[in-house]
Amino acid sequence: MSIISNSLKRIKPSPTIAVTQKARELRAAGKDVIGLGAGEPDFDTPDNIKNAAIKAIRDGDTKYTAVDGTPALKKAIVEKFKRENNLDFSTEQITVGTGGKQVLYNAFMATLNKGDEVIIPAPFWVSYPDMVLLAGGKPKIVKCDEKDGFKLTAKKLQKAISKKTKWLIINSPSNPTGTGYTKDEIENLAKVLTKNKKIYILSDDIYEHVKYDNFNFFTIAQMSKLKDRTLTMNGVSKSYAMTGWRIGYAAGPKNIIKAIGKIQSQSTSNPSSISQAAAVEALNGPQDFIQERANAFKERRDFVVKSLNNIRGISCLTPNGAFYVFPSCKSLLNKKTKLKTDTDFVQKLLEKENVAVVQGSAFGLEGYFRISYATSMENLQKAMQRIKSFCENLD
């Protein structure tokens, strides 16, 4: 009899974390590896946020807090939603977790029964399906076309809905594609969801502030008819360069928020008191650096997209958010190149040119690969040269 549970056997380790770890190991072995796999801003946490954490330590703010967030942080989150999204929540509708990933995991554990379906548009963030599986649910993957910007259409949503559908996940701007849903696109999805009143919506807004080209961010909870069925997840990791601080949060219906708190009370309990104090300052403090950093990301995006589209066999859409691109390598997968899959492509790229990227199939769509451009321009320039050399010397 195996000691490992059957539920754990249904899932796999995170491919993005695996790629990042492989790059670290190769560097430690002396290889000149450029890692483009990590979804982590290369900027530092702003000093005012660091200082708030230092003050919390010196003030002795080092004890347990309320399980699902301090009153000060919940208040800051309520004010953030009102200020930036024109959404009204009470503090009882807010939960704080150890990163956005825990918030999502808790939500599924708290709401899914065996056989409940969760509609997941592909390409998707790698952890969504495995979280659903661990919670006993069934991921229902809906492949989205490149011609639609890799976004779910109302027609495809309607077709995917069944009597067992409990949740729909929307991630905008998206990991891995960087594409964002416009207000019109959200409204079209909302028309379908308004008719299907038993479906809840999980809106992953973690890249809300990383956007370009005058893209107007719009979250589905702003559709008043759907607010009471929407759990809106966000956090400080991407916008404030606080990945290691591990603070995510969500707003939604009180019964779901209470259930999430119950799960958290029997797992991690409260997030770090110091990180919560820092997150209060992040949300309440100066915000001007966010746009400055988005401008830097845009410069990198423009360079990477242009470079990729100048490589024979590669094509790449221009994303309007996040810090990823999702180029196609389909035309390079053939007998002549001896590459059968996108996994072959990324493995050979790492082996031949020491560039680490993630295969599109890890995100649910074969024939693509994801690049994170959250690294220096110097690294990106070297990486683009190496990818070009690799692709144009395959035959």
CATH number of the CATH domain containing 341: 3.90.1150.10
- Residue 395: pLDDT band (50, 70, 90) is confident
Establish if 53 belongs to a structural domain: no
φ, ψ dihedrals at 384, nearest 5°: -65, -40
Interatomic CA distance for residues 78 and 91, integer angstroms: 7
The pLDDT score that the predictor gives to residue 38 is 84
Residues 226 and 269 in one domain: yes
Residues 209 and 356 in one domain: no
Strand order in the sheet with 138-143: 94-97, 248-251, 230-235, 200-204, 165-171, 117-122, 138-143
pLDDT at 147 over 80: yes
Residue-wise pLDDT for 306-351, tens only, equals: 999 999 999 999 999 999 999 999 999 999 999 999 999 999 999 8
Task: Identify the domain boundary among 284, 303, 319.
Answer: 284
Residues 279 and 295 in one domain: no
Establish if 57 belongs to a structural domain: no
Residues 215 and 132 in one domain: yes
Q: Please, what's the b/e burial string for 304-326 (b: 16 or more CB within 10 A of its CB; e: otherwise)? A: bbebbeebebbebbbbbbbbbbb
The pLDDT score that the predictor gives to residue 27 is 82
Q: Which domain holds residue 123?
A: 63-284
The pLDDT score that the predictor gives to residue 15 is 75
- Domains contained in the chain, number: 2
Residues 265 and 325 in one domain: no
- What CATH number did the domain enclosing 112 receive? 3.40.640.10
Residues 278 and 204 in one domain: yes
- Strand blocks (E) in 69-181: 94-97, 117-122, 138-143, 165-171
The secondary element (H helix, E strand) that includes residue 370 is strand 369-372
- Average pLDDT value for residue range 89-112: 98
The pLDDT score that the predictor gives to residue 39 is 85
The answer to whether residues 236 and 247 touch, using CB atoms and an 8 Å cutoff, is yes
φ, ψ dihedrals at 8, nearest 5°: -70, -30
Residues 266 and 294 in one domain: no
Residues 192 and 89 in one domain: yes
The secondary element (H helix, E strand) that includes residue 194 is helix 183-195
Averaged pLDDT of the chain: 96
Q: Provide the percentage of residues in the chain whose pLDDT is more than 70.
A: 100
Residues 326 and 274 in one domain: no
- Residue 28: pLDDT band (50, 70, 90) is confident
Interatomic CA distance for residues 273 and 97, integer angstroms: 11
Residue-wise pLDDT for 148-184, tens only, equals: 999 999 999 999 999 999 999 999 999 999 999 999 9
Look up tokens 């797992």; give the residue: 267
